[in-house]
Structure formats: C-alpha cells, structure tokens
Structure 1
Amino acid sequence: MPPPTSRSSKPWHAHLTIDLLAYVASYTIFHPFVAWVVPLSLRAQRTPYHFTSFIVSVTYASLLTAFYAFSLINKRLAYGPPRKVNLDDEVIVITGGAGGLGLLIAEVYGMRGASVAVLDIAEIKDAESRGIHYYRCDVGDSAQVEKASSRISQDLGTPTIIINCAGIVNGKPLQELTPSDVERNFRVNLFSHFYTNQKFLPGMMSSANGGTIVTVSSVLGKIGAASLSDYTAAKAGLIAMHTSLIAELKQSPNRGARNIRTILVTPGQLATPLFASLTTPSNFFGPVVEPVEVAKEIMKMVDAGEGGELSFPLYACFIEWMNVLPASVLWAVRSMAGVDTAMKNFGINKTR
C-alpha cells in the first residue's frame, strides 16, 4: 500500500488571514447582490415598508450598490475603457521571465498559444516546448534591449504587451553597498523599465488598439525598509515613473497612445527565491503572497484590456496611510510590524 498523502504540518488557523476574510466578505455581506436579497426576503415575508429592519436593509443595499457603481465609474475615468485583447494578435514581452512571477506568466501565456518573448540573462530549459521564445538579454543594458527588440519584431511581430518583472536585491545596509551593487540594482530594478518602455512604446503607439504595460514594483517602494535602501529607492522610482507615464499618455494626441493601458503592481512579500529567507511578523495581517495569485490577477487585467493598480496582500492597499501618522506613532508601528528587522537573515545577491 502506498504511504498516506502527507498533509501540511501547519495548524488550521495558520491558513486563516485577514485577506481570506476580506475575500469571503466581498462575495457575501459586502456584495450588492447578496445585500439586496435581504430586503427582497423581507418583502416575501410581507414585512411592511415602514419597519426598521426593511428600511435598514434597503439603505445598506443602496449604499453598497452606489459604492460599487462609483468604483466602476472612477476606474473608467481614471484608466479609460478596456481595449480589445485577442491573444492571437498580441506579442507579449516579459522581462525577468526565467524564474518566479515572470516565468509563471510566460508559461501560462505560452500554453494558451500566445506569442511570448522572455528577456533574461538566466536561461529557460526547454523554452520552445513551453511555447516561450527566449532571448538572452541584460535588461539593464540599453544596447542589449535595443538588439533584443529588433529580433523580437523580426521573429514575432510588434510587441503589444510588456510585463516588466525583472528584479534583484542586494539586501545590505547602505554603508555596505559597493558602487557596483548600487549600479546593478538601479540598472535592473529601475533603468530596465525605461529601456523597455522606450523601445516598445513606439510600436504600441503606431497601432490604433494601443497596448498594455505592466510595471511590477513593490509595497516597499511606498514605505522603505532598513537594509533595502537601494531596492526600495528603485521601486519608489517605478511608482513615480508609472504615474508620469500615465500623464504623458493621456496628454498625447496619438490615438494609439491613449489606448495604451497601464497596470501598476505593488505586492508585499512574494513566496519566491528573491525573499525566501524572510519570515513575516504576522501571517494573519501580512501573509506571504503566492506568485500564482499575483500572476492570475495580472493576467486577468491584461486579458480584459484594463488598466489600474494591483496590491497584495490587503495591507498593501492601505500602507501609504502610515505616512500621515505622527512621526513617533509611525516608528512605533514600523517597530511592531517588523519592517526594519526582516532583512537580518537575508542571503546576499539573490535574484527573482
């Protein structure tokens, strides 16, 4: 007889997180359809209109519906209407696609028959069998990016979807960083986004259907962290660059530019080799995010032709509000959260 299937050694409550509770609530008590079931059920029982229970339930359902409607209108005004996406006509370029989040996205799109080009210095085994076109390229080198872009255009056509996932981390205090550490960090984590966008944007703008640009930043770009000064500075730069890019595209008279959709991704700690040695201070409030969940949400927005922002886990959506706290309270919160002590056991020079 085969041995019984091994189960996780974690207790059941270890899988309970605030994100899970929020997800369940969004499809139950915070969903407009479910909210309207209550007053409809009350009327089915012939509850009079003037009863408090009926008035409260209708008011709650109305407010929830108005909130959802406002959210949709807000997103439409901020990021524009969705563009039409047909994977048969799209050419997808993924930087840092030889591992982690980038490889997950590349493999899924490859299995779906899309034209996928991966730019990375690390090789991908059996790339062709996975439906991936691999191009060895240091995305922190503008000359190599330009050469790769020419080859991709010749082999696959004009790129229409750019997913910038490339990233490295040194994990050293500021005074221990060497000039080469700093230079390499900014070349890969920040400059590569400038190089790929500059090379591939003209092709997108030439098409009336535009394209999609995905910028993978980090929640640390919003709050900083000890022993990550170079990494967080680059990620903060990506957030600012993304905002500036949106403004430029909105102002452009080019129709293709106005149809380019942008997606900013600011995840918390991902369960990838890049931060494998880190432990989260609170698994309930700050769970480690599985790359497959992030990949799924990115591809969902890309496939829908939408623009917007993705933040994981839940705390990442509100982390910026920490900066409005009084300085003494802010540093007390950072201390309790363990933001500035998380890198103590981190390995040097790991890549995504």
Structure 2
Amino acid sequence: MVQTIPAKMPEGAIVSGVEKPWHHYLTLDLIVNVLSYTVLHPFVAWMIPLCLRAQATPYDHPSMYVTVAWASLLTVYGILGLINDRIAYGPPREVDLSEEVIVITGGASGLGALIAEVYGMRNANIAVLDVKKFSEDEAEEKGIAYYECDVGDPKQVEAAGKRIVEDLGVPTILINNAGIVHGKSLLELSSEEIEKTFRINTLSHFHTLRAFLPGMLEEERGTVVTVSSVLGHLGAANLSDYTASKAALLAMHASLEAELARDPRGQYIRTILCKPGQFSTPMFANVKTPSAFLAPVLAPVDIAKEIIRLVDGGRGGTIAVPLYARWIDVLGVLPAGLQYLVRRWSGVDNAMAGVNPSSAKKVGTEKKG
C-alpha cells in the first residue's frame, strides 16, 4: 500500500491515520548507524588529530594522545573485522549479473517480490518459484520469469529447475525465501498444518539445494541465501511450528557451509544467512513490537538492500537486523532465571496475541522474523 505524505509534516508524523511523535522513529539502530558514520568511523576519527595539528597542537599534548589512540583503535578494529570476514566467508567472487541466473522462492509477494523486482529492473535473469500464477504480460512487464511451483514438493522443484536451465541457463544465485506461518498454539495446530509449515519453510531449502547446487559446483561459482529468522534462536508462543522450522534452517545452513568447505569446488560458492527480526507484512499487522526503540519493526526493503548488497558484491556473510538480532546468541548463555525475566520483559511470547490465525493463513508466502 502506498501512502501519500504531505511535504510539510505536522508536529507529529501521520502514518495510517495515526499521528505519531517525532521520537517514535528514533531507534537504537538509527543511533548506532549515525555513530558508525561519524565518531566510530576510522576516517572521521583520523580527521580530529589532523585538525588539531592544523591548529599547531603539539604532538605531546594530551588531546593528541587521546585522539590518535582512538583513531588507531578504530582502525585496528576495522582491519580485524575484514580479516574475520575473509577467514569466515572467503574472498568475494566476481558477479556479473548478465552472466548470472537468480532463483528466488516465494517471490510473488513480500521480501522475495521486492528482491525479484529490483533485479528485474536491472535486466538480470530472474526466475521466481511460487504457487501463485502470473500472466505472461505481467511477467514481461516486470522482467521476471515466473514458474508456478510448490517448493515443498521435490518433484515440482526438479521439474521447474529443468525448465529454468532450458529457458535462462544454469542458476548461480539461489535465494531461499519462501515461508508460511499459521499463528496458532501447538495444541490448535493440525498435523497437516505442521507438515505444511516444515515442507515450505524447511524442506523446500533441501529441495532447491539438491536441484541447483550441483550446477553451481560445476560452474564453480554461486551464491546461496538462506532466509531464516531471529525467532529460530528464541522460540515464541503460538509460533511453535514456525520457530522450529526456522531453527532447523540455522543448523542446515551451518552444515551446508561445512560440506562446501570439504569440497574443493565449494570455495567458489558464497553463503549468506539472513535472520531478521519482525517484518511489517499484512499478516502481522496486529503484532506490536515490545519496544520500538530497541526492537523496531523492519520493512522488507531493510532486508532486501542487505541481501542485494552482499549478493552483488559476491560476498558471504550473516545478515542480522535489527541490532539486537546480532547479539541474540548471548541470551542462551545467561542463567535460566535471567532468560525468563528477559522473555517476560520483551513480550516475545505475547506478540501473537492480536493476530487472527485465519488472516495469517491467507498470506502464505509473506515473511516475518
């Protein structure tokens, strides 16, 4: 839905008819992002001692010691970060979109659709696998090849894979994004619903990897994106099937990286793990974040731009946003009592209280963290 915002805003911004104060949009992530480009950036930090010298400040002045030490610390930290990424994910591979074939599952709506349309506008070779059927005119208009396919069915994935190779070429970039959620308690879930969640959220990754990874290994180039969720670490009430399916992806992705490391051709494959927080999608419109400051709700574009940045750069890595998602592993090493208090304070187990399960089922391919 596109909203029209007046050029001159009133005292509080108006979103969906509700006036919100300016500080509503002030988040921890925004503050850290601003700091990272200012006082926490090595280049900016080195400007301070240079400016002091321009004012004829002696080298032995305390201000020079402090500013040089601070700039040196940031520089060393940045270099260590680059070394860490190089060891963990290998050197970037060269990516030429004209020679790549990108496959996106669940690309009919939400995050997947946004990524597909961005690459479609850049004239890349895009293949979307989704149960939704698109007309040829719509596909041609967007520059995207749509393949009607239930990614939870290995036979359909295999058949779609063969058609993609014939139509576009060997896929070299795979973005596993498809997912559903039911929003029911464990006792309310039917066996069919549980199986469907795992077929689409988890088993689909196995099916697509079995279909497309061999081609990447033969081509000796490729990128695999696994879209999981921060809830895979946490679990949450009324999301037992969803969180379990996403937790399985965390282990599957780690195993994939381990197997690629054992294969000599695996050094040419880059892997990206995406574990975001809450998404602002229609089926979770009634979900309220416990803290807009510490845990802001993400727009699909927030994740899409990070995925596209790493894919275009031929890099591997982990995408964990908002900021708390980067440190969620720390929760697991805290004493059990403290973990209980953190969960109570965060409100994670009450987040689904306002969601209508029937509305969640209607939008099966949209994503939420």
TM-score, structure 2 normalization: 0.92
Give the CA deviation at 1:277.
Answer: 2.1
Mapped partners of 1:179, 1:277: distance in 2:
26
Question: Residue in 2 aligned with 1:342?
Answer: 351
Q: Deviations over 1:131-179 (max 9, x none)?
A: 0100000000000000000010011110000001100001111111111
Q: State whether structure 2 residue 66 is matched by structure 1 residue 62.
A: no
Question: Residue in 2 aligned with 1:74?
Answer: 84
Question: Residue in 2 aligned with 1:238?
Answer: 249
The match for 2:216 among 173, 186, 204 is 204
Q: What are the residue-to-residue correspondences of 1:8-157 with 2, within 5 Å?
A: 8=14, 9-124=19-134, 126-157=138-169
Q: Deviations over 1:35-80 (max 9, x none)?
A: 1111111111222222211111111110110000000011011100
Q: Which runs of 5+ in 2 are unaligned?
A: none
Seq. identity, % = 57
Q: Deviations over 1:260-280 (max 9, x none)?
A: 000000000011224222111
Q: Deviations over 1:196-218 (max 9, x none)?
A: 0111001000013x100000000
Mapped partners of 2:134, 2:313: distance in 1:
28
Question: Residue in 1 aligned with 2:261?
Answer: 250
SS in 2 for 1:322: helix
Structure 1 contact 100–273 (Cα < 8 Å) conserved: no
Mapped partners of 1:307, 1:273: distance in 2:
30
Mapped partners of 1:189, 1:279: distance in 2:
23
Question: Residue in 2 aligned with 1:269?
Answer: 278
The residue identity in structure 2 corresponding to 1:146 is E
Give the CA deviation at 1:31.
Answer: 0.1
The residue identity in structure 2 corresponding to 1:18 is L
Question: Residue in 1 aligned with 2:309?
Answer: 300
Hey, which bits of structure 1, 4+ residues long, moved more than 3 A?
3-7
1:215–1:236: structure 2 CA closer, same or farther, 3 Å change rule? same
Structure 1 contact 141–192 (Cα < 8 Å) conserved: yes
Mapped partners of 1:169, 1:332: distance in 2:
27
TM-score, structure 1 normalization: 0.96
Mapped partners of 1:160, 1:272: distance in 2:
29
Q: State whether structure 2 residue 321 is matched by structure 1 residue 317.
A: no
SS in 2 for 1:213: strand
1:135–1:323: structure 2 CA closer, same or farther, 3 Å change rule? same
Q: Which runs of 5+ in 1 are unaligned?
A: none
SS in 1 for 2:141: helix
Q: State whether structure 2 residue 338 is matched by structure 1 residue 326.
A: no
Q: Deviations over 1:87-143 (max 9, x none)?
A: 000000000000000000000101100010000002346122100100000000000
SS in 1 for 2:20: coil
SS in 2 for 1:127: helix
Mapped partners of 2:285, 2:317: distance in 1:
28
Higher deviation after alignment, 133-142 or 121-130: 121-130
The residue identity in structure 1 corresponding to 2:268 is N
SS in 2 for 1:139: coil
Mapped partners of 1:83, 1:90: distance in 2:
12
* Paired residues, number: 347
The residue identity in structure 1 corresponding to 2:272 is I
Question: Residue in 1 aligned with 2:186?
Answer: 174
Question: Residue in 1 aligned with 2:292?
Answer: 283
Structure 1 contact 97–106 (Cα < 8 Å) conserved: yes
Q: Deviations over 1:279-315 (max 9, x none)?
A: 1111011000110121011001100000000011111
Mapped partners of 1:159, 1:187: distance in 2:
22
Structure 1 contact 97–118 (Cα < 8 Å) conserved: yes
Question: Residue in 2 aligned with 1:225?
Answer: 236
Structure 1 contact 212–260 (Cα < 8 Å) conserved: yes
Give the CA deviation at 1:4.
Answer: 6.0
Structure 1 contact 190–238 (Cα < 8 Å) conserved: yes
Mapped partners of 2:290, 2:264: distance in 1:
48
Higher deviation after alignment, 269-278 or 185-194: 269-278
The residue identity in structure 2 corresponding to 1:43 is R
Q: Deviations over 1:233-261 (max 9, x none)?
A: 1101101111110111011023xx21000
Q: Deviations over 1:172-201 (max 9, x none)?
A: 111111110110000000000000011100
The residue identity in structure 2 corresponding to 1:265 is C
